Structure 1
Amino acid sequence: MSKLRFTIYLYSYLKALFLKYKAVVKFILTFLIVYGALSLLYDLYLRYSGSTKYYPDYFTNLVARQTEILLNTVGYQSQILPHPNEPSMKLILNGKYLARVIEGCNSFSVIILFVSFVVAFSGKIKTTIVYILSGSVMLYVVNLFRIVLLTIGLYHYPEYENILHTVVFPAIIYGMVLLLWVLWVNRFSKIAQQHE
């Protein structure tokens, strides 16, 4: 087989493969572009948002303050203090320093993942926007409650710190993301609309 024939064969094979899996390729590229763009914007936010008033950044500070309010509401004495040695907030429960609220606790990286998937499997524009906004709010609220539950769990069961933080804690938020994705694909995305 000559080089030219091989090149033509390879080109037509790759073209047929691309056409066959066009939807998959489109999904992956859209997901990667949206995820990359949102991650870049979030990184810029983190880089330029540090302040002494809202330490370490506005959203992490907000999550820490809201966690404090929720813990106080359910009967615990909680206090949030800026950590002197690292960009985080110290979470003190009933006088005991239990945890740090760091940037990774503010749920924005999970929300970026959620939004990227929904956009990649987009549906009608209005439906997509409403679902992204409501899903993001839901993830933010679930994240607050998981921090509260983790803190209470660490207070009462310090011996289970590892399993609480590495298994239960991520399972709650990523499980919620998975449920929202499944709901999106089966009820609201273009794929769901095609099967109606």
Structure 2
Amino acid sequence: MLKDFKPVLGILLRFIIIYLVLLFAYQSYLNSEKGLGLDSFSRIIADQVSYLQNLINFPTELYDDIKNEQVWFYVKKQYTTRMVEGCNAVSVMILFVSFVFAFYKGLKTFIFAGTGLVILYIMNLLRIVGLNVVMADHKEYGKMFHDFIFPAVIYGSVVILWLIWIKFFALKNENA
């Protein structure tokens, strides 16, 4: 009976191991930057969001709050939102990569994971820009967008990418 579940258990075990390894690596990275303000990766994202907002004529400046490890977005002469480590979507990307590699299919796994990470990165940038626009122009909808709409966008993107991976790559040979 256990032989019937062996493939599923193998996938589950791979997922858990990959997830834990990536999670511990990320936590080590965060620990190495403790006390320096917002971590470098999150800061890069904040800079890119600011660039995009300025590009679409949404004047934005960033203000570092090193003590609290965050960066504030100053938009239209008001502090609209703040960027903290959790806004960088790394935890979502770790979950995505762990799932894709749990269904390892050689080189195409690396290509799909890399492409998916780029897509998730862009979606996250657009999510933060969207949140800043909402908070600057329609603050009354800010909580709804922050807590429900934009998380649905980023997690929905992950689920769509997973479905594409399973349907067109991971299980393709088994369905043929």
What does the per-residue CA deviation read over 1:78-102, in whole Å, with 9 as the maximum and x for residues that have no partner? Answer: 0111125411111111111011111
How big is the shift at 1:51?
6.9
CA–CA distance in 1 between the matches of 2:84 and 2:9?
35
**Please, what TM-score do these two structures have when normalized by structure 1?**
0.86
In structure 1, the residue matched to 2:140 is 159
How big is the shift at 1:20?
1.4
How big is the shift at 1:58?
0.8
RMSD between aligned alpha carbons?
1.2
In structure 2, the residue matched to 1:19 is 3
How big is the shift at 1:21?
1.3
1:69 match: secondary structure: helix
In structure 2, the residue matched to 1:97 is 79
Q: Which of 131, 145, 149 matches 1:168?
A: 149
- For the pair 1:36 / 2:15, whether they are aligned, the reply is no
What does the per-residue CA deviation read over 1:103-158, in whole Å, with 9 as the maximum and x for residues that have no partner? Answer: 111121111000000001122x1100111111101100110001000110111111
Contact preservation (8 Å) 2:96, 2:158: yes
Number of aligned residue pairs: 176
CA–CA distance in 1 between the matches of 2:24 and 2:120?
21
Contact preservation (8 Å) 2:124, 2:154: yes
Mapping of 1:42-57 within 5 angstroms?
42-50=26-34, 52=36, 55-57=37-39
**Please, what TM-score do these two structures have when normalized by structure 2?**
0.96
In structure 1, the residue matched to 2:123 is 142
Highest RCO, 1 vs 2 (Cα 8 Å, sep ≥ 6): 2
Deviating runs (4+, > 2 A) in structure 1?
49-52
* Unaligned stretches of 5+ residues in structure 2: none
Contact preservation (8 Å) 2:131, 2:146: yes
* Unaligned stretches of 5+ residues in structure 1: 1-15
The residue type paired with residue 23 of structure 1 is: P
How big is the shift at 1:42?
0.2
Contact preservation (8 Å) 1:46, 1:57: yes
